[in-house]
Structure 1
Amino acid sequence: MISITDPDITHLQNDVESEHSMSKRFSQHSFFDLAFRSFFVSAAAVSIVSLTLWLGYLNGFSIIFSNGLTPTVWHIHEMLFGFAATVAAGFLLTAVQTWTGRESIKGGAVILLLCLWLLVRVSLFIDESFYIYSAVILQTLWWLVVIATFSSLVLKAKNRRNYLFIALLSVLMCLNIGVLVLDLQGRTDLALHFSRTAVLMFGLLMGVLGGRVIPFFTNSATQIGKINSPEFLTPLLFTTSILGILVFFTGQFIALPFTPAALMISAGLLHMFRLSYWHSAATIKVSLLWSLHLSYLSLAIGLLLLGASYLTSVILFSDALHMITIGAMGLMILAMMSRVSLGHTGRKLQPHKLVSVSFVFMFCAAVARVLLPMFEQIQLAWNLSAILWIAAGFIFLSIYIPILSSAKLSK
């Protein structure tokens, strides 16, 4: 029989306490203080990795895509749900603390969500059916935790103004799972349709958030006075956008006597009309502002181009869609991450000069991806837009990783 002496027990207890202390210190690291820090860094990094792999595939150097998702669906999924949805979740789970006055998740809970997110990325990269199905389950679990956390805080606080985001996040979750399951079943065309619908839903989400924060930020920084747009505009824009999405989505299943072209063009014009009240010219010297205004303009232009794609063969729907995914989503996300990262870490809203360069790179990526195919420069459009996005991502990470992994500055 082996006996354990008192010194052995003491040593074992010390080891356990040491491991517990290390685990506690790790979970309390500044990087996991609220969701925006680790989510922003992880999302930016995965966009760089995903686009690098996609660029290799487009140029004949693929190291993935064999037994799982089809290449195009993988690319769209990782950029929409690996990147954009992750940033949206990080922002909302951080902003909800301000909106409700209730403490949001941090530490261990953030690490759990991040681990789920990372497991999904790895499972999709392995690209075999078993791991893809595992990714479906893990991605669903990630969404449920995000939505449950956000819903719990806004419902307990009776923060009715933000109930809308519960519905929007739930729809995005359903579209996300639909994309994965449909492609695994070999119904790639339908998976792509769900993906494009998700882009339009992200456009709706950007319209709601942009309509709230861009005028507020503009007024705070320029002191031009309260920005007022006609009261009827917001509900009209929301209704037009919803109808456009519904017509686009159902048109795949039901033979409708009309296309969503008129609704998309109307939504684009309404966005432009709304933007005309926001004094964009006054923001030209403030990079954290003009970038948001430019991204909102890109949303309007993207919707106009989508509508026009139904009326002319010169503009392809898939090319027009990239004005929203890159020019609107990419630029607005980059600008919001840059702003939120400074504001929520107690720093002045004065970004590094290279941040402006990253904004220009992102917008140029959108222009290249949309315009060059019209001149039959498709390969150049793919390569140039991806390289510009990757460069913008590297600039963000090089500047903001030290900020997002450091303690909040005291005022």
Structure 2
Amino acid sequence: MPSPLTIKEPDEPKRTKMKLNADGSLRPAEPEPLSKSRQLLRQPLLDLAFRPGFLLASLASIFSLTLWLLYLHGLLPQLQHNTLSPLAWHIHEMLFAFAATVAVAFLLTAAQTWTNQRSLHGGGLLIFCLLWLSVQLLLLTGNSPTVVIATITAQTLWWSIAIGCLARMVFKARSRRNYQFVVILFLMMALNLGIFAADIAGNYALTIHLAISAILVFSLLAGIMGGRVIPFFTRRGAPEAAVTDTPRLNRLCPPVAVVAIVIYFASYFTSYFSTAISGSLLIVAGTLYLLQLSHWHSWATRKVPLLWSLHASYFALGLGLILVGVSTFKNYFPLADALHVITIGAIGAMILAMIARVSLGHTGRPLQPHPVMAIAFALTFLAALLRFVLPQLGLPILAWDISASLWGIAFGCFLWHYTPILFKPRQS
């Protein structure tokens, strides 16, 4: 069975230009030299979305967290005078400039395998990346009406290209199993633009509600993708794990999570649903994820960093959902701290593990990451742990500083070791 992440280039007919000799015979024509613009568009970096997407997202997470820490320490008051409020900007950068960018880049790359159609590349991919970059820059250049309109327009265009490309590929190939990802991306776009609108209008309560809803949608995507690929990778990378199939759990986890998300989202707008109901369902969903994980024999992966990191992130997903659910009943701990177990320990750590693996596999290299990546994986989980525990000990500022620093080191390791790989051609 081929890996669901293996890249297969679509078959294209090869045509050779011929040139007429003086004696009337034909010979292959010499290739015409490419213009500088054509050479740029054929660079390996623009071959598939995962290459620039993973790099840009990692850079954005480190850069934005640095600015966020400066703001929290009173060293960057200018952050208050941009399109979004500082908290909404932080939410946007980590959820959408980082996590959504990786998700889109991964899905556009994987869709080429699922559908045997050429995905976004070359000039189209360059425009896609420039739109992404323009959004990040515009968010830091004031709050004039022109800047606000330009920001929302660029963000909408970016999402439209992402969703349009993915939808075209999976619908044309009738890849019904993957229609769900088009829906999830559309929900992410709606929440992203909704956060923009609510924050610009000064409705900060709605902004936070939409942000939490977005985190839960990302957790749904992590659960779907993790449930699909982690057992597969484990069977191939650690056969001694003896992974047990759980078809009932596999079918049950996503619907429970979806219902919990819908009820939580609706609880802001109607009294028919309470956060207690969604909280209960989140606890159930988290428990189901942990039950699913228990059948994958995680201990057997302890010597394979690319595997144990995925297993640990799935554990953080289940635990995080339970903690978020519990926080809706009793004020044992702030909801924000529970959410960071998901955003750092589940989403962030799973992303780091996946991009480390995908960047090797999709460039034709052995799945043997540099030993420092094992440390990077561990630092991400340590960041999640400290971000949750230290505030309960009355040390919130220390939690912010240490967790952000550990995140920066972890993703800095990825950039240091993987940037040269992502700039180089695929190995045969």
Q: Which band: TM-score by shorter chain? A: over 0.9
Tell me the SS of whatever aligns to 1:163: helix
| 1:204 corresponds to | 220
Alpha carbons 1:264, 1:307 under 8 Å: kept: yes
1:269-296 CA deviation, whole Å, 9 max, x = no partner? 0000000111111110000000000000
Give the one of 352, 374, 388 matched to 1:370: 388
| 1:109 corresponds to | 124
Task: Give, in whole Å, the separation in 2 of the partners of 1:76 and 1:124.
Answer: 12
Alpha carbons 1:229, 1:274 under 8 Å: kept: no
Give the one of 151, 156, 170 matched to 1:140: 156
Alpha carbons 1:69, 1:127 under 8 Å: kept: no
Give the one of 97, 101, 108 matched to 1:86: 101
2:376 equivalent to 1:361: no
| 2:64 corresponds to | 50
With 220-229 and 42-51 compared, the bigger mean Cα shift is at 220-229
Letter in 2 for 1:293: H
Give the one of 265, 269, 272 matched to 2:283: 265
Query: CA 1:275/1:225 → structure 2, altered by over 3 Å: closer, same or farther?
Result: closer
Instruction: Show structure 1 runs of 4+ deviating over 4 A.
Output: none
Task: Give, in whole Å, the separation in 2 of the partners of 1:245 and 1:60.
Answer: 35
Alpha carbons 2:267, 2:273 under 8 Å: kept: no
* Aligned counterparts, 1:247-262, within 5 A: 247-256=263-272, 258=274, 259=276, 260-262=278-280
**Alpha-carbon offset, residue 225 of structure 1:** 7.5
Task: Give, in whole Å, the separation in 2 of the partners of 1:306 and 1:178.
Answer: 22
* Aligned counterparts, 1:226-245, within 5 A: 227-245=243-261
* Aligned counterparts, 1:3-42, within 5 A: 21-42=35-56
Give the one of 330, 337, 360 matched to 2:348: 330
Tell me the SS of whatever aligns to 2:247: coil
2:135 equivalent to 1:120: yes
Structure 1 length-normalised TM: 0.93
* Aligned counterparts, 1:386-397, within 5 A: 386-397=404-415
Aligned Cα RMSD in Å? 1.4
With 87-96 and 258-267 compared, the bigger mean Cα shift is at 258-267
Task: Give, in whole Å, the separation in 1 of the partners of 2:38 and 2:377.
Answer: 38
Alpha carbons 1:70, 1:188 under 8 Å: kept: no
**Alpha-carbon offset, residue 305 of structure 1:** 0.4
**Alpha-carbon offset, residue 229 of structure 1:** 3.1
Tell me the SS of whatever aligns to 1:313: coil
Task: Give, in whole Å, the separation in 1 of the partners of 2:294 and 2:273.
Answer: 34
Give the one of 305, 323, 343 matched to 2:361: 343
| 1:315 corresponds to | 333
Alpha carbons 2:253, 2:285 under 8 Å: kept: yes
1:222-261 CA deviation, whole Å, 9 max, x = no partner? 1247733332212221111011111111111112464212
Query: CA 1:257/1:168 → structure 2, altered by over 3 Å: closer, same or farther?
Result: closer
Alpha carbons 1:308, 1:315 under 8 Å: kept: no
Unaligned runs of 5+ in 2: 1-31
- Between the two proteins, the alignment pairs up a number of residues equal to 393
**Alpha-carbon offset, residue 112 of structure 1:** 0.8
Task: Give, in whole Å, the separation in 1 of the partners of 2:427 and 2:292.
Answer: 36
Q: Percent identity?
A: 45
| 1:285 corresponds to | 303
Query: CA 1:343/1:257 → structure 2, altered by over 3 Å: closer, same or farther?
Result: closer
Tell me the SS of whatever aligns to 2:329: coil
| 1:3 corresponds to | none
| 1:219 corresponds to | 235
Letter in 1 for 2:100: A
Alpha carbons 2:377, 2:410 under 8 Å: kept: yes
1:345-393 CA deviation, whole Å, 9 max, x = no partner? 0000000011111111111111111111111111111111111111111
Letter in 2 for 1:237: C
Letter in 1 for 2:407: W
Task: Give, in whole Å, the separation in 1 of the partners of 2:310 and 2:162.
Answer: 25
Query: CA 1:292/1:60 → structure 2, altered by over 3 Å: closer, same or farther?
Result: same
Task: Give, in whole Å, the separation in 1 of the partners of 2:93 and 2:127.
Answer: 20
| 1:70 corresponds to | 85
Task: Give, in whole Å, the separation in 2 of the partners of 1:111 and 1:339.
Answer: 24
Give the one of 74, 97, 106 matched to 1:60: 74
Unaligned runs of 5+ in 1: 1-16
| 1:274 corresponds to | 292
**Alpha-carbon offset, residue 109 of structure 1:** 1.1
| 1:9 corresponds to | none
With 67-76 and 49-58 compared, the bigger mean Cα shift is at 67-76
With 181-190 and 249-258 compared, the bigger mean Cα shift is at 249-258
| 2:24 corresponds to | none
1:291-339 CA deviation, whole Å, 9 max, x = no partner? 0000000000100100111222121111100000000010000000000
Report the structure, 1 or 2, having the larger helix content: 1
Tell me the SS of whatever aligns to 1:69: coil
Letter in 1 for 2:104: A
| 1:151 corresponds to | 167
1:15-42 CA deviation, whole Å, 9 max, x = no partner? xx99x71011111111111000000000
Query: CA 1:104/1:226 → structure 2, altered by over 3 Å: closer, same or farther?
Result: farther
Structure 2 length-normalised TM: 0.90
**Alpha-carbon offset, residue 183 of structure 1:** 0.6
With 259-268 and 249-258 compared, the bigger mean Cα shift is at 249-258
Alpha carbons 2:79, 2:85 under 8 Å: kept: no
| 1:97 corresponds to | 112
